[in-house]
Amino acid sequence: MRRRVVITGIGVMAPGGTGVKNFWSLLSEGRTATRGITFFDPAPFRSRVAAEIDFHPEDQGLTPQEIRRMDRAAQLVVVAAREAVAGSGLAPDTMDPHRTGVTIGSAVGATTGLDQEYRVVSDDGRLELVDHRYAVPHLYGHFVPSSFATEVAWATGAEGPSTVVSTGCTSGLDAIGHAVELIRENSADVMIAGATDAPISPITMACFDAIKATTPYNDEPGQASRPFDRTRNGFVLGEGAAVLVLEELGRAQRRGAHIYAEIGGYASRCNAFHMTGLRPDGREMAEAIRATLEEARLNASDIDYVNAHGSGTKQNDRHESAAFKRSLGEHAYRVPVSSIKSMIGHSLGAIGSLEIAACALAMAENVIPPTANLHNPDPECDLDYVPISAREARLDQVLSVGSGFGGFQSAMVLTRPERNTA
């Protein structure tokens, strides 16, 4: 008999408001958290908007040494992990460290910390042979982002299977999927699983400028992220972290934990097509969706809501709409689809976990978060994208998908555990 996995805790650090409560307010009210970049002078860049978090680590309980040691992405994920564990009701005395593990997704690791430290050791690029005497003592933790898993394990007391999953922009979904597999195969009973990225730095803006992936729509930053809209012209870079407490169903029930949702199915495929490009027909994403539904033993028509990747690039939104039609058939035209990236931007590897957190909260509230800024639907994106305002609906089975550089296409279904407990 297959071990089943449920979500019993959620922690979120997202633009527009930190913590689960603020995150859900933003999404359910359809507000946007994109703005002109404040972290550095964006003048030289083509894209000058981002979804930044107003984050003061000392106010979030991090100690001076934790702040010195960790890159911003690590700080965000540790704060989110603490919120998730606190909310789950798991206490140190009821956790078996050996049966508790950590999987953290991240696409670009400590890229912001590396950018800052490189400036110093190279003296703004003057030195080719960078000067080790100016390196911060914990630079190794930026060099290899497995430090994110280390920090979360230390923060939560986990001593079971622990790793970082780095599959580009599907990292967040894949980290949760990986954790689910570890619980199912009985390598752990509890997994602290999520993702983080804090990529809003000059090097990241520069590389996305170079491939024109981020939007040059700088004049009205609050409306810059426009998934599925005819006028969309790139994504808005974001940052954030979300962490879930995943638990074996029986264990969660025995301790009377609040259960947000069950992970009904998960699958990933690779397009083997191009590092940044997408095959127009969406076949690999469609196959990931098909395999996910099969694992969850659901039909396409059972899906009540699709949380889209919806990055707002011309290519992605078309690709994805094609994938939904290919995998869900006629139901694709009936099921509500939305992209929360319209509100919180695209935080690369973190976004997959933020989206699963949003899906779990949507199921708890029976409210579908909208696609903000969608005023002029693209004729090639002809599905129901829940424009502008949230919508109430009974949500029992929810699908979330992701698509990443490197060709990764992943899908996950959340269900209500009571549905098949009987």
Partner 1 sequence: MTASVVVTGLGIAAPNGLGAADYWAATRKGHSGIGPVTRFDPSAYPARLAGEVPGFVAADHLPGRLLPQTDHMTRLALVSADWALQDAGIRPDGLPEYAAGVVTASSAGGFEFGQNELRALWSKGSQYVSAYQSFAWFYAVNTGQISIRHGLRGPSGVLVSDQAGGLDAIAHARRQIRRGSQVIVSGGVDASICPWGWVAQLTSGRLSTDDDPATAYRPFDAGASGHVAGEGGALLVLEDEQAARARDAHIYGRITGYGTTFDPRPGSGREPGLRRAIEIALRDAALTPGDIDVVFADAAAVPELDHIEARALTEVFGPRDVPVTAPKSMTGRLNSGAGPLDVATALLAIRDGVIPPTVNVSPHADYDLDLVIGQERATELRSALVVARGFGGFNSALVVSDAAPKARTS
Partner 2 sequence: MASTEFTIDDLRRILREGAGTEEGVDLDADILDVAFEELGYESLALLETCGRIEREYGIALDDDALAEAQTPRALLKLVHGHLVTVHAG
Residue at 142: amino acid letter:
H
**Does 212 participate in binding partner 2 (rule CB under 8 A)?**
yes
Phi-psi category of 50—alpha, beta or left, where left has phi over 0 and alpha has psi -120 to 50?
Answer: beta
Mark residues 207-226: x for contact with partner 1 by CB under 8 A, - for none. Answer: xxxxx-x-------------
- Closest approach, Cβ 270 to partner 1, in A, equals 4
Angle between helices 72-88 and 111-121 (to 10 degrees): 150
**Does 44 participate in binding partner 2 (rule CB under 8 A)?**
no
Taking CB under 8 A as the criterion, which residues in 128-147 touch partner 1? Answer: 128-132, 135-147
Stretch that binds partner 1, among 28-36, 77-85, 121-129, 334-342 (CB under 8 A): 121-129
Q: Considering only residues 271, 307, 316, 371, which one is a binding residue for partner 1 as defined by CB under 8 A?
A: 271
**Does 375 participate in binding partner 2 (rule CB under 8 A)?**
no
Q: 142, 309, 319, 381: which one is catalytic?
A: 309
DSSP 2: P
Look at residue 294 and give its three-state secondary structure. helix
Please identify, using beta-carbon distances, which residue of 212 and 258 lies nearer to partner 2: 212
Taking CB under 8 A as the criterion, which residues in 403-422 touch partner 1? Answer: 404-408
Identify the CA nearest to 202 among candidates 277, 125, 310, 129.
Answer: 125
Indicate if 274 belongs to the active site: no
311-340 burial: b if 16+ Cβ within 10 Å, else e: bbbeebbbbbbbbbbbbbeebbeebbbbbb
Residue appearing with tokens 């984050």: 55
Positive or negative: CA dihedral 63, 65, 68, 73: negative
| Number of residues that this document lists for the chain | 422
**Does 231 participate in binding partner 2 (rule CB under 8 A)?**
no
Return the structure tokens found at 232. 């969309």
Please state, in angstroms and rounded to a whole number, the distance separating the CA atoms of residues 411 and 394. 21
Q: Considering only residues 38, 154, 297, 419, which one is a binding residue for partner 1 as defined by CB under 8 A?
A: 154
Q: Which does 29 bind (CB under 5 to 8 A by kind): partner 1, partner 2, none?
A: none
Please state, in angstroms and rounded to a whole number, the distance separating the CA atoms of residues 299 and 317. 23
Please state, in angstroms and rounded to a whole number, the distance separating the CA atoms of residues 12 and 22. 9
- Closest approach, Cβ 276 to partner 2, in A, equals 6
Please state, in angstroms and rounded to a whole number, the distance separating the CA atoms of residues 385 and 369. 10
Mark residues 375-404: x for contact with partner 1 by CB under 8 A, - for none. Answer: -----------------------------x
Taking CB under 8 A as the criterion, which residues in 52-111 touch partner 1? Answer: 97-98, 101-102, 106-109
Q: Considering only residues 50, 165, 191, 285, which one is a binding residue for partner 1 as defined by CB under 8 A?
A: 165
Please identify, using beta-carbon distances, which residue of 273 and 333 lies nearer to partner 1: 273
DSSP-derived pairing of the beta strands 391-392 and 261-270 = unpaired
**Does 269 participate in binding partner 1 (rule CB under 8 A)?**
yes
- Closest approach, Cβ 412 to partner 1, in A, equals 13
**Does 113 participate in binding partner 1 (rule CB under 8 A)?**
no
Please state, in angstroms and rounded to a whole number, the distance separating the CA atoms of residues 8 and 17. 22
Indicate if 56 belongs to the active site: no
Please identify, using beta-carbon distances, which residue of 269 and 416 lies nearer to partner 1: 269
Stretch that binds partner 2, among 54-62, 100-108, 191-199, 209-217 (CB under 8 A): 209-217
Look at residue 272 and give its three-state secondary structure. coil
Q: Which does 277 bind (CB under 5 to 8 A by kind): partner 1, partner 2, none?
A: partner 2
Q: Per 3-state DSSP, what percentage of the chain is helix, strand, and coil (rounded to 5)? A: 40, 20, 40
**In Å, how far from its chain's centre is CA 48?**
22
Stretch that binds partner 2, among 32-40, 273-281, 296-304, 386-394 (CB under 8 A): 273-281
What are the residues facing 404 on neighbouring strands? 408
Q: Considering only residues 274, 334, 375, 419, which one is a binding residue for partner 2 as defined by CB under 8 A?
A: 274
- Closest approach, Cβ 182 to partner 2, in A, equals 36
Please state, in angstroms and rounded to a whole number, the distance separating the CA atoms of residues 123 and 361. 46
Q: 142, 346, 359, 381: which one is catalytic?
A: 346
**Does 275 participate in binding partner 2 (rule CB under 8 A)?**
yes
Catalytic residue numbers?
169, 309, 346
Binding site for partner 2 (CB under 8 A): 210-212, 274-277
